[in-house]
Structure 1
């Protein structure tokens, strides 16, 4: 049984189209401890809602799956990287990433505003006030509800 996740990315940094073109990609650059810890629990085959954030409109734009479990985020050791962290080393990595694989780009975006207006999703972490994590769990019932919406 897979687990379900929502992962946010700014489309001008890395979009669903970028993932579609690459087919697989590391999900690097996460610099929040709670989001990092969630990624460390991900398993191969877990399913992901790909969410475009910091854009208008923000929302879920497609699906992906985890194809490689968490491993050290080597961008934290690269002094030329925007994600460099001088306290992270190969011997004692502070940050981790997973690899994800493209499944589908949706023909329409399911916006945050639409998600917030669905009573069935009132307990979804994404729809909670102040929820800003870039990686968050999604319940099986939330996953099923959202995917059913798209098939209508």
Structure 2
């Protein structure tokens, strides 16, 4: 099980700025079976990277899982809280050029909206 995840969002629907404003939100709208499995595997305290799709295609900020209710496997309820903007947002092109991400579903399965990250991948994106 991964300890960190990347969540993709379309900024015109819900951006990292929206999450910062709201402070806490339920992460929903996920239908892909693999992405749903990834949501169910999360636990309170799981570290997250927020990645904006569309024209951006950039990792822009961090968040943390507050709670997970996986009692309905087809619609797990994951509540997240905003972290901080990344000091250096990372574009998809930069991610693809980093060997740490060569086997990542972020690169290999472009449509996957909830992507597991290794600790090294998380560190590469956050600088932490």
Unaligned regions of 5+ residues in structure 2, if any? Answer: none
Other structure's SS at 2:41 match: coil
Larger Rg: 1
Q: 1:64 aligned to 2:43?
A: no
Aligned residues: 127
Q: Which residue of 2 aligns with 1:146?
A: 125
Asked if 1 retains the 8 angstrom alpha-carbon contact of 2:61 and 2:86, the reply is yes
- Tell me the TM-score normalized by structure 1: 0.75
Structure 2 CA distance for aligned equivalents of residues 108 and 56 of structure 1: 18
Structure 2 CA distance for aligned equivalents of residues 113 and 107 of structure 1: 17
| Pick aligned residue for 1:133 from 107, 112, 119 | 112
Q: Which residue of 2 aligns with 1:30?
A: 30
Unaligned regions of 5+ residues in structure 1, if any? Answer: 73-91
Q: Which residue of 1 aligns with 2:8?
A: 8
Deviation beyond 4 Å, 4+ runs, structure 1: none
Deviations 1:27-69 (A, max 9, x none): 011111211111111000000000001x223110100000011
Over aligned residue pairs, what C-alpha RMSD do you find? 1.9
Structure 2 CA distance for aligned equivalents of residues 138 and 4 of structure 1: 5
- Tell me the TM-score normalized by structure 2: 0.88
Structure 2 CA distance for aligned equivalents of residues 68 and 16 of structure 1: 19
